[in-house]
Structure formats: structure tokens, C-alpha cells
Chain A
Amino acid sequence: MKYDGRRVAFYAITLWAAVSLNFLIPRMLPGDPAQILLGKLARNGDVTPAVEKNVELILGGSDEPLWNQYWAYLDNIVHGDLGISVSKYPEPVWDLIKDALPWTLCLVGAATIIAFAIGIVGGAWIGWKRGSAWDHVIPFTALLQSVPYFWLAILLVYFLGMKLGLAPISWGWDVQTYDHPEWTWASVVDVFQHAVLPALTIVLSAVGGWLVGMRNMMVSTLAEDYIVTAEAKGLRPRRVLWVYAVRNAALPSFAGFAVALAFVVSGSLVMEQVFSYPGIGKLMITAVSNADYALMQGVFLLTTVAVLVVNFLMDLIYGYIDPRTRHHG
């Protein structure tokens, strides 16, 4: 119980810190983002006092004392008001985020799970065959891990997409045929085809880490006495592998997997730029290149909150997977 109390307190403090950071960054850094934003808005048409007030709430620039600004800002956030976008004026930031979020969640989430599954099974196998030729696979995963993943994406676009024409190379669906993805068979297939290269990028760049981590844990676990005992009892090797070794060796990887899931929203911002994939990353980059600060702050806040929420859920689940963590608090 004490453990859970501590965790909840930690997440509450972190959430507060993230929101406050989001409040402080535009106000503390040099330059006057609120003025820049209002200038841009004025070019698009009349700026109503309501819009002006909204911008000042998020980015600062009003003459009110900082403390009052802070309370008004918190009040806004609690009501889900993240301000108004300039680049897609006058769409509220929250609506833009709501449209982009499913793309990123589905694509990166699915790719993360695939990479994890391949890495765990492959790592378990290489660890089981320790000392064999399979060990030489490990150094090559270092290369895969060190490849900048957006550069990998560029290579895939160039060689698989452009030279071989195996898969579409940009956007989340065929924009020439459909205005929006529809719930028809053809459209769903089209969406899947567009996800192939981005997903491949993520799987390729993530699988090496899981592979090495799992293999190393397998090697350590296989040296434990209970494995020797299990072998000495004459258990079938397959049983020793899956029931005795893998289950224990995979625990740290599951902890890592929880963290990886938490970073799904923010994990592949740059990759989305390469594919012009209509997710959160693309939104963030559009915001940055158009100096759409309200949208940028909104996306930043979302990525942090996503990490917190997923981490919190995973914490609760992990306590049941590995009861030791509950006692080591």
C-alpha cells in the first residue's frame, strides 16, 4: 500500500512539473512568442480579443502578474483548452491532436509490439545457443541500433519505395483516391500498405536493443543454479528453455517494454517527417516550422502526459508480473 501511495504521489508531482514547465518555457526563453503568434494571426484576419486572450494565456505576454497567469493557465488546461492553432487557423489545438493521435498510436504501437516479440524470441534463442555461431549476430545489432532511424527511413524510401516500388512512400493513405480513409476493404488495405515502410523502419531500429538485452539476460539466467538443477533432473531442454529460463530472463525486458510503450507517442517524430505520416510527429514539425507555438506546446504537453499515463498503468501491471518490485520500493 505504501508503495502505491508513493507512486501516485510521484506521478502527481511529475504531472504538475510537466504542466508548469510547459507554462514556463515560452515565458522564460528569449524572444516574445506571443507577439510573433499574434502578428501571424493578424495576417490571417481579424484577431478577436478572445483569441488574443487565449494566446496570452498559453504563451504569456500579458501584463498580469505571473502568478495570476499561472492560475488562469491551469484553469484552461483542466478544461482541455490548449489554445488555437495558427498554421491551421482557427482549429483548436486539441482537435488537431485528436485527429493525429490515432495514426501515431496504431502505427508506432503495433511496430513496437512486433519489434519486442521478434527481439524476445530471437534473443532467447541466441542466448540458449550461447557460444555458438549465433553469438556473432550480436555485434551486427549494434550497427542496426546506431543507425539514425530517420536515415534508415530515407534509405527504405529510396531503395524499397522508389527504386523497387514495393510500397507507397508518403502519407497515411492514398490522398488522390480518398479524402479520408473509409471503412471499406480497399481503403483499409490502402492504409495498411502506407504503414508498411514506416513500421519496417521502427521494427528494424528497435529490434536490436531487445535482441541484445534478452540475449544477455538469457546468458546470465542460464548460469543460475536452478537451470543446472532442472537439467540435472532430466527435464526436456525445451521445457528448461521456455519454462525455467525465458520466463525469468524476460522480466527486465518487460520493464523496458513498458517504458517503450510509454514513449510510443513521442518516439518517432522524425520518422513521421520522412514519410509525411499524418501523426503527432508531423503535427509537431508543422508547428515548429510555422512558429505555431500554441500547437507546439500542446503536442509537447500531450507527449509528456502520454508517458505518465502509460507508465502509471504499466507500474500497476508490472507489480503483478514481478512481485519483487512491490517490496523493494
Chain B
Amino acid sequence: MAEHETTGEDVREAHLVTGAATTVEAADVVADGLPPDLDEAVGDGSLAAAVTGEPAAGPPRARRRDLMPSWSPKLVVGLVITGLIVLFAIVVPFFTLDPNSTDYDGLLKPGEQGHLLGTSAIGNDIWAQLAHGARGSLLIGVTVGVIALLLSVVFGIFAGYLGGWTDETLSLITNIMLVIPALPLTIVLAAYSSSRSMWLVAGVLGLTAWTGSAIVLRTQARSLRMRDYVLAARVAGEKSRRIIAVEILPNLLPLVAAQFLFGVIFAILGEAGLSYLGLGPTDAVTWGTMLYQAQQGSALTLGAWWWFVPPGLLIALLGCGLSLVNFAIDEIINPKLRNVPQATRRVRKAREREERAAATTEEAGA
């Protein structure tokens, strides 16, 4: 019944859920191992631990190798972009000016005299705001990601595995939350509180961020529920909680990781939108509050591009990096995405080689 109610913003989720009849089910692939990838070198394991987490039950080495993402260019670029921005958020704020300090000599100037990226209309240093904003935005993003992850595991995996009335109730709540539009709900919730801490904003966003993931996870958990090894664990008298933690969750890890990253992207974009409307955190600098101040200080009409371009650009870059990592995870979950284009490429190369060989023999003959 939940098959075509996934969120519109993300078609990838829609295809994971609705495509069950036409595509390989993600759980099949994850649980049963991937065909070995001969063309690309497989990573050394440190990466897999970071992205997929360590499988809890300690599967044999071959299985662990299969779970690893291969070093596709998408993954490398995605990880590098994300890593650089995280590093920027951690390190740079120690070396900048106070983001709220004002410099009355340099109001609304492009980068010069000790201000790397220039100043805002009230003399804030943009570079300092950008660095501290990175911290704020990332903190909100990760907090929302964690909240959404926990909620989607409860409402998705528990519902899918336990079935029956628990499932009916939990999925009803999920589906109701899914159709209530997220942004208006967060706007309404945020509008009633006059001072908003960063954590309040994160909480409000977290309440609306989990539904899509819950539906994806529920479908997968439902298909894993009837697998032989899960049935065996149940017959052996394992408790449901343990089966979910040890048998189900590890097999869904790539999917869960992808959903977490979606949560982070959703949160950073959501925070930016909320802040742009003046409903962001009042106690912290984020990329969203920077854009809000730029709008309030009419940066657009004054042509102060150095004020409104950098925060949006960083949001876009971070989102892009995380999406690229997600694309790579997608190719693990659904190997057709990786193997089919490779196979076609190989066939085309072989054909070209044949033609070339034919041409050279013709030349030789002539």
C-alpha cells in the first residue's frame, strides 16, 4: 500500500520502492553478496568501515569485500568535497575573526584589507561568518540526520519486521506525516517560538525528515523478514530486538547510510530555507542565517555578490558531495547500475577493436 507514496523530491527513493517488481530488490543484493567486480580495484577497507559500518556478525572476508564500495570516481570526488568542507568547518573557525564583530571602517566591501571575502552591510567579516556558519549548518545537519535515522529505523525497520498491528499503526503514522508538507509544518512550528536555539531548529527539522527513509526501510525489512536465516534465528528463539539488531540491520547498512546522508542534505537545505524566511536559529550563525541577513541588508539590489554567493555555493557543494557518495552507494545496492553501463562500454570497445583490426587487415591486403 505504501508503494507509491514516496516523497516527490527524490525519485531515487521512488524507484527503490516502486521498482521492486522490475529491478533487483536492494535487499537481495545486499544480503546475498555482489558479483565480484573485476574491472575496478576494490578499496582497502578503511573506506568501507566509514561508509557502510562494520558488519556486526563478522562475516567471512569475501562477503566483507563485496559489501565495500569500489573506488569509483563519483565516490572519490564526493568524499573529497565532503571531507574538505567538514575540515573547513572544524579547523578554520579557530583562525578567523569573531563572526559577529563589526568593522565600521569596512562596510559592504568586497575582499580587501584583512577581510578575505569582504564585509557585510553591518561590517561582519564574511569569511568568518562562512566558517562559523559551516559549523552551525553541519551541526544542524548531522543532528537532524541522527534524529531522522533513529525515527526511520523505528518506524521503518521495526514496523516492517514486526508486521501485524504494530506495522499498521506505525505505517499509518508514517503515511500521515508523509502527506503533511514538511516545509509549511516546520514554518508553523518555528513561527510560534520567538527565540529559537539551534537545537530547537534541528528538532523541528528532524520531526519532518524521517518519513521517506522509513518507507524505504520498511519495504526492505519486510522482504528480509521471510528470509531463511531470519526464520532460523526466530526458530532458535532469538528475541525480535536481537534479530533486528544482528540479522536485519547489518544487511540494510548501505541503505541506512544512504538514508542518513539524505537526512543531512534535507536538513541543511531545510535550515537554509527556514532561516531565509527569518525562522532560523537565533543563537548561531549558519549558512541560512547569512543568506537571510544578505536579504535583509538588500545585498541583491546593492550588487554585493560576495555576500550572498559564498554561503549558497557551499551548501550546493556539500549537497553535491553527499549526493555523489549516495550515487556510489546506489551502485552498490543496485549492481545493474554499475554493471550494465560497464558491459555496454566493453562491448562497444570490443566492436571498435574488431573494426580497427578489420581495417588494418584490409589495408594490409591492399
Residues of A bordering B, CB below 8 Å = 3, 6-7, 10, 13-14, 17-18, 21, 25-26, 29-31, 33, 130-132, 135, 138-139, 142-143, 145-148, 150-152, 154-155, 157-158, 162, 209-210, 212-214, 216-217, 219-224, 248, 251-253, 255-263, 265-267, 269-270, 273, 284-285, 288-289, 291, 293, 296-297, 299-300, 303-304, 307-308, 311, 315, 318, 324-325, 328-329
Q: Are B279 and A288 in contact (CB under 8 A)?
A: yes
Q: In the complex, A25→B1 CA distance in Å? A: 29
Majority-rule SS of A interface residues: helix
Check B273 for interface membership: any CB of A closer than 8 A. yes
Q: Are A25 and B341 in contact (CB under 8 A)?
A: no
Q: Are A300 and B277 in contact (CB under 8 A)?
A: no
Q: In the complex, A265→B181 CA distance in Å? A: 9
Q: In the complex, A154→B1 CA distance in Å? A: 40
Q: In the complex, A315→B3 CA distance in Å? A: 11
Check B227 for interface membership: any CB of A closer than 8 A. no
Q: Are A311 and B337 in contact (CB under 8 A)?
A: no
**Which residues of chain A come closer than 8 Å to B5, judged between CB atoms?**
259, 311
**Which residues of chain B come closer than 8 Å to A224, judged between CB atoms?**
22
Q: A146-B322, A157-B300, A255-B18 are in contact. Are A21 and B180 (CB under 8 A)?
A: yes
**Which residues of chain A come closer than 8 Å to B330, judged between CB atoms?**
216
| Closest partner residue, chain A, to B17 (CB atom) | A252
Min CB distance, A11 to chain B, in Å? Answer: 9
Q: In the complex, A261→B52 CA distance in Å? A: 34
Q: Which of B45-99 contact A (CB under 8 A)?
A: 74, 77
Q: In the complex, A224→B22 CA distance in Å? A: 8
Check B242 for interface membership: any CB of A closer than 8 A. no
Chain B CB within 10 Å, residue with most, of A143, A255, A303: A255
**Which residues of chain A come closer than 8 Å to B343, judged between CB atoms?**
131
Q: Are A269 and B183 in contact (CB under 8 A)?
A: yes
Per a CB cutoff under 8 Å, which of A220, A253, A289 touches B336? A220
Q: In the complex, A155→B315 CA distance in Å? A: 14
Q: A31-B192, A131-B342, A150-B276 are in contact. Are A256 and B181 (CB under 8 A)?
A: no
Per a CB cutoff under 8 Å, which of B11, B185, B194, B340 touches A212? B11
Min CB distance, B27 to chain A, in Å? Answer: 16
| Closest partner residue, chain A, to B12 (CB atom) | A213
**Which residues of chain B come closer than 8 Å to A265, judged between CB atoms?**
181
Q: Are A14 and B22 in contact (CB under 8 A)?
A: no
**Which residues of chain A come closer than 8 Å to B15, judged between CB atoms?**
213, 216-217, 252-253
Min CB distance, B314 to chain A, in Å? Answer: 10
Q: In the complex, A148→B319 CA distance in Å? A: 9
**Which residues of chain A come closer than 8 Å to B303, judged between CB atoms?**
158, 162
Q: Are B273 and A148 in contact (CB under 8 A)?
A: yes
**Which residues of chain B come closer than 8 Å to A325, judged between CB atoms?**
3-4
Q: Are B316 and A147 in contact (CB under 8 A)?
A: yes
Q: List 18 A-B residue pairs with CB atoms under 8 Å apart, sorted by A's residue number.
A: A14-B175, A17-B176, A29-B192, A135-B341, A145-B319, A146-B318, A146-B323, A148-B315, A209-B10, A256-B11, A257-B8, A262-B179, A267-B8, A269-B273, A273-B276, A289-B278, A307-B179, A328-B1
Per a CB cutoff under 8 Å, which of B172, B191, B316, B341 touches A131? B341
Q: A146-B322, A147-B319, A307-B181 are in contact. Are A252 and B11 (CB under 8 A)?
A: yes
User: What 1/0 mask marks residues of chain B from 313 to 343 whose CB sits below 8 Å from any chain A CB?
Assistant: 0011111101110010010001011011111
Q: In the complex, A297→B24 CA distance in Å? A: 44
Extra 16 A-B pairs, beta carbons < 8 Å, given A147-B316, A221-B22, A256-B6: A130-B344, A131-B341, A142-B324, A142-B327, A143-B320, A145-B323, A147-B315, A158-B305, A213-B12, A252-B19, A263-B8, A270-B183, A284-B187, A293-B191, A311-B179, A328-B1
**Which residues of chain B come closer than 8 Å to A258, judged between CB atoms?**
4, 8
User: Which 9 A/B pairs are nearest by Cβ-Cβ distance?
Assistant: A146-B319, A213-B11, A151-B312, A259-B8, A260-B8, A131-B344, A266-B181, A142-B323, A255-B4
Per a CB cutoff under 8 Å, which of A152, A212, A248 touches B12? A212
Min CB distance, A87 to chain B, in Å? Answer: 13
Q: Are B348 and A131 in contact (CB under 8 A)?
A: yes
Min CB distance, B308 to chain A, in Å? Answer: 6
Min CB distance, A192 to chain B, in Å? Answer: 23
**Which residues of chain A come closer than 8 Å to B12, judged between CB atoms?**
209, 212-213, 216
Per a CB cutoff under 8 Å, which of B7, B18, B272 touches A151? B272
Q: In the complex, A145→B301 CA distance in Å? A: 26
Check B193 for interface membership: any CB of A closer than 8 A. yes
Q: Which of B167-220 contact A (CB under 8 A)?
A: 172, 175-176, 179-181, 183-185, 187-189, 191-194
Q: Are B189 and A29 in contact (CB under 8 A)?
A: yes
Q: In the complex, A212→B337 CA distance in Å? A: 11
Q: In the complex, A270→B183 CA distance in Å? A: 9
**Which residues of chain B come closer than 8 Å to A300, judged between CB atoms?**
184-185, 187-188
Check B240 for interface membership: any CB of A closer than 8 A. no
Q: Are B324 and A33 in contact (CB under 8 A)?
A: no
Q: Are A259 and B340 in contact (CB under 8 A)?
A: no
**Which residues of chain A come closer than 8 Å to B317, judged between CB atoms?**
143, 146
Q: Are A273 and B327 in contact (CB under 8 A)?
A: no
Q: A130-B341, A210-B11, A213-B14 are in contact. Are A31 and B194 (CB under 8 A)?
A: yes
Min CB distance, B184 to chain A, in Å? Answer: 5
| Closest partner residue, chain B, to A301 (CB atom) | B184
Q: Are B19 and A288 in contact (CB under 8 A)?
A: no
Q: In the complex, A256→B12 CA distance in Å? A: 9
Q: Are A296 and B316 in contact (CB under 8 A)?
A: no
| Closest partner residue, chain B, to A253 (CB atom) | B11
Check B223 for interface membership: any CB of A closer than 8 A. no
Q: In the complex, A269→B6 CA distance in Å? A: 21
| Closest partner residue, chain A, to B23 (CB atom) | A220
Q: Are A308 and B11 in contact (CB under 8 A)?
A: no
**Which residues of chain B come closer than 8 Å to A220, judged between CB atoms?**
19, 22-24, 334, 336-337, 340
Q: Are B184 and A299 in contact (CB under 8 A)?
A: yes
Q: A131-B348, A142-B320, A253-B11 are in contact. Are A270 and B181 (CB under 8 A)?
A: no
Q: Are A146 and B320 in contact (CB under 8 A)?
A: yes
Q: Are B278 and A146 in contact (CB under 8 A)?
A: no
